[in-house]
Amino acid sequence: MTEREILTRKIATNDFALVDLHLFLDTHPNNRQIAEKINEYEMKSSVLRQEYEKKYGPLTPRDENGNRWAWIAGPWPWETKEEKCDVDL
């Protein structure tokens, strides 16, 4: 698994946890512990996304600088050759 794939998987895992925590909070709106956990995961998500975008470019078509076409600037995943990365999640 490449470093890019590992980082993508970490983002997906973190985002899944965020959705799950939000669903729990929907049924337990007064649970402060979960609300704090959501804030923690949102900060972690932000850090992971910034790291990904710094190394590989935007994850989504939106661009904070107003250039909505920046995401197609490449290289596309099949155009890059990355070495194998043996990092445990």
Whole-angstrom Cα distance, residue 29 to residue 1?
39
- One-character DSSP codes across 38-53: HHHHHHHHHHHHHHHH
Tens of pLDDT, residues 35-66? 999 999 999 999 999 999 999 888 876 655 66
Number of domains in the chain: 1
Tens of pLDDT, residues 12-34? 999 999 999 999 999 999 999 99
Question: Is residue 67 in some structural domain?
Answer: no
Its domain, for residue 48, covers 1-57
